[in-house]
Amino acid sequence: MKILLVDDHAIVRDGLKRLLGGLDRAVIQEVADGRDALAMVRAQAFDLIILDLNLPGLGGLELVRRIVQQGRGRVLVLSMHAEPLYAARAIDAGAAGYVSKNASPDELLTALQRVASGGRYIESEIAQALALQGPAPGQAMGQLNSRELEIMRLLALGRSLAEIAEALGVGYKTVANTCSLMKSKLGVSRTADLVRLAVESGMS
């Protein structure tokens, strides 16, 4: 099984390699940022790509979308975010599985085996929250698509619109226009309000 680990923390990658080392015939490669991950996926196919959402440069849901477009491996998101909104958006972006870093090693192994074999997996507690979640608090945020949610995350991290455009590989005008649409969806009038909502939603 060929596995690609995408995480900017060396200690996380080392821990994952130890955990995955017991898998039969596992060949593990690793990168620390989204652009290197895309280059690696373009160069070769993987059975499984395990990636974090919070990465320098190109990261998060935009990275998931682009990797899935390449059709060179199934994506399992392993994220610090345990909120159902992130899991739902990751699946919408094309990920086949979502597990938070709070999950047990056994659950992570179950998830990666399920995803690598062609199935889907969402961490049990997150899946339960998604199932129980009705029209609820944060419903407005639920209107955002994967790219809009990624822009919100980058705003929460203090990135300017120009920096966001560079990270996503799109024009400044595209980001500005998307922010205008987001303001309309979320019922706010200023970019500062988008930043506030993103921070309040735990995206930073």
pLDDT of residue 52: 94
Q: Which residue among 73, 105, 132 closes a domain?
A: 132
Indicate whether 156 and 105 sit together in one domain. Answer: no
| Distance (Å, whole) CA 155 – CA 199 | 9
Indicate whether 188 and 154 sit together in one domain. Answer: yes
**pLDDT, tens only, 163-183:** 999 999 999 999 999 999 998
Indicate whether 114 and 149 sit together in one domain. Answer: no
**β-pair type (121-122, 48-51):** unpaired
Number of domains forming the structure of the chain: 2
Segments in the chain below pLDDT 70: 131-140, 202, 204
Indicate whether 26 and 121 sit together in one domain. Answer: yes
Indicate whether 113 and 149 sit together in one domain. Answer: no
Indicate whether 148 and 166 sit together in one domain. Answer: yes
Q: Which residue among 132, 157, 184 closes a domain?
A: 132
Question: What are the C-alpha distances in Å from 28 to residues 48, 141, 148?
Answer: 10, 36, 32
Q: Indicate which CATH number applies to the domain containing 151.
A: 1.10.10.10
Indicate whether 96 and 9 sit together in one domain. Answer: yes
How would you write the chain as a 3-class SS string? CEEEEECCCHHHHHHHHHHHCCCCCCEEEEECCHHHHHHHHHHCCCCEEEECCCCCCCCHHHHHHHHHHHCCCEEEEEECCCCHHHHHHHHHHCCCEEEECCCCHHHHHHHHHHHHCCCCEECHHHHHHHHHCCCCCCCCHHHCCHHHHHHHHHHHCCCCHHHHHHHHCCCHHHHHHHHHHHHHHHCCCCHHHHHHHHHHCCCC
| Distance (Å, whole) CA 23 – CA 129 | 30
Spatial neighbors of 27 by CB under 8 A, at least 6 apart, are: 1, 2, 3
Indicate whether 112 and 148 sit together in one domain. Answer: no
Indicate whether 172 and 128 sit together in one domain. Answer: no
Token representation of residue 60: 């998060």
Q: Indicate which CATH number applies to the domain containing 65.
A: 3.40.50.2300
Q: Which domain does 64 fall in, by range?
A: 2-132
Indicate whether 50 and 88 sit together in one domain. Answer: yes
Indicate whether 14 and 75 sit together in one domain. Answer: yes
pLDDT of residue 44: 94
Q: Which residue among 89, 107, 132 closes a domain?
A: 132
**pLDDT, tens only, 131-164:** 665 444 345 677 788 888 889 989 988 899 999 9
Indicate whether 98 and 148 sit together in one domain. Answer: no
pLDDT of residue 135: 42
